[in-house]
Amino acid sequence: MGETTLTGRVVSAHGRHYRVAIQPSGETRHCYPRGKRTGIAVGDNVQILPEGQQEGLITEILPRRNLFYRSDAQRSKLFAANIDQLLLVLAAEPVFSDDLLGRALVAAHSADISVVILLNKADLPGTAAARARLAVPESLGTPVLSLSALDYAQVHAQLDALLKNQCTLLLGQSGMGKSTLLNALVPEAQAATQAHSEALGTGRHTTTQTRLHPLPGGGDIIDSPGFQAFGLQHLTPHEIAHGFPEFAPAIEQCRFYNCTHQHEPECGVLAAMASGQISANRHALYMRILAENQAAKRY
Ligand SMILES: Nc1nc2c(ncn2[C@@H]2O[C@H](COP(=O)(O)OP(=O)(O)O)[C@@H](O)[C@H]2O)c(=O)[nH]1
Ligand SMILES: [Mg+2]
Ligand SMILES: [Zn+2]
pLDDT tens-digit series, residues 107-161: 999 888 999 999 999 999 999 999 999 998 999 899 999 999 999 999 999 999 9
pLDDT of residue 197: 54
Percent of the chain predicted with pLDDT > 90: 78
Going by pLDDT thresholds of 50, 70 and 90, the confidence category of residue 194 is: low
Same-domain pairing of 47 and 73: no
What's the domain range around 92?
A: 67-223
Residue 192 has pLDDT above 90, yes or no: no
Interacting residues of 211 by C-beta distance below 8 A, sequence separation 6+: 11, 12, 13, 42, 192, 193, 196, 222, 223
Distance from the CA of 127 to the center of ligand 1, in angstroms? 14
Any domain includes 230: no
Q: Mean pLDDT over residues 190-199, rounded? A: 57
Of the ligands numbered here, which is closest to the C-alpha atom of 268?
A: 3
> Minimal CA–CA distance to 21: which of 39, 37, 44, 3?
44
108 occurs within a structural domain: yes
Contact 149, 221 (CB under 8 A): no
Predicted TM-score of the model (pTM): 0.91
Same domain flag for 174 and 196: yes
Whether 228 is in a domain gets the answer no
Whether 90 maps to a domain, the answer reads: yes
State how many domains the chain has: 3
CATH number for 173: 3.40.50.300
**Higher-confidence position of 219 and 1:** 219
Of 3, 4, 60, 2, the closest CA to residue 31 belongs to: 60
Same structural domain for residues 91 and 215?
yes
Give the pLDDT mean for 74-91. Answer: 93
Residue 280's CATH number: 1.10.40.50
In a domain, 144, yes or no: yes
Q: Does residue 30 belong to any structural domain of this protein?
A: yes
Higher pLDDT, 3 or 296: 296
Q: Average pLDDT in the 93-120 region? A: 94
Region 250-275: mean pLDDT is 97
Same domain, 110 and 44: no
Please name the residue whose Cα sits nearest to atom 28 of ligand 1. 121
Of 123, 180, 224, best ligand 1 pocket probe by most atoms within 8 Å of the beta carbon: 180
Q: Is 119 in the same domain as 188? A: yes
pLDDT surpasses 90 at 3 = no
Residue after which a domain boundary falls, among 61, 86, 110:
61
Look at residue 123 and tell me if it is in a domain.
yes
Distance 261 CA to ligand 1 centre (A): 40
Same domain, 12 and 91: no
Give the range among 102-106, 168-172, 204-208 with minimum mean pLDDT.
204-208
Residue ending a domain, among 170, 194, 223, is 223
Ligand 1, atom 26: closest residue by C-alpha:
121
Nearest CA to ligand 1 atom 14: 177
Question: Are 73 and 212 members of one domain?
Answer: yes
Residues 93 and 146 in one domain: yes
Any ligand 1 atom below 6 A from CB of 130: no
- The letter for the amino acid at 257 is Y
Judged by its nearest atom, the ligand closest to the C-alpha of residue 118 is: 1
Q: 116, 32, 41, 23: which is closest to 82 by C-alpha?
A: 41
Indicate if 44 and 137 belong to the same structural domain. no
The number of residues in the chain equals 299
How many of the other CB atoms lie within 10 Å of CB of 126? 12
> What is the rounded average pLDDT for all residues in the chain?
91
Q: Which pLDDT band holds residue 48 (cuts at 50, 70, 90)?
A: very high
Residues 203 and 267 in one domain: no
Q: Is the pLDDT of residue 1 over 50?
A: no
pLDDT band at 76 (very low <50, low <70, confident <90, very high): confident
Q: Is 196 in the pocket of ligand 1 (CB under 6 A)?
A: no
Specify whether 285 is located in the same domain as 141. Answer: no
Residue 134 lies in a domain: yes
Residue 50 Cβ inside 6 Å of ligand 1? The answer reads no
The answer to whether residues 56 and 86 belong to one domain is no
CA 48 remoteness from chain centre: 26
Asked whether the beta carbons of 88 and 115 are under 8 A apart, the reply is: yes
Looking at the CA of 120, name the nearest ligand. Answer: 1
195: pLDDT strictly greater than 90 = no
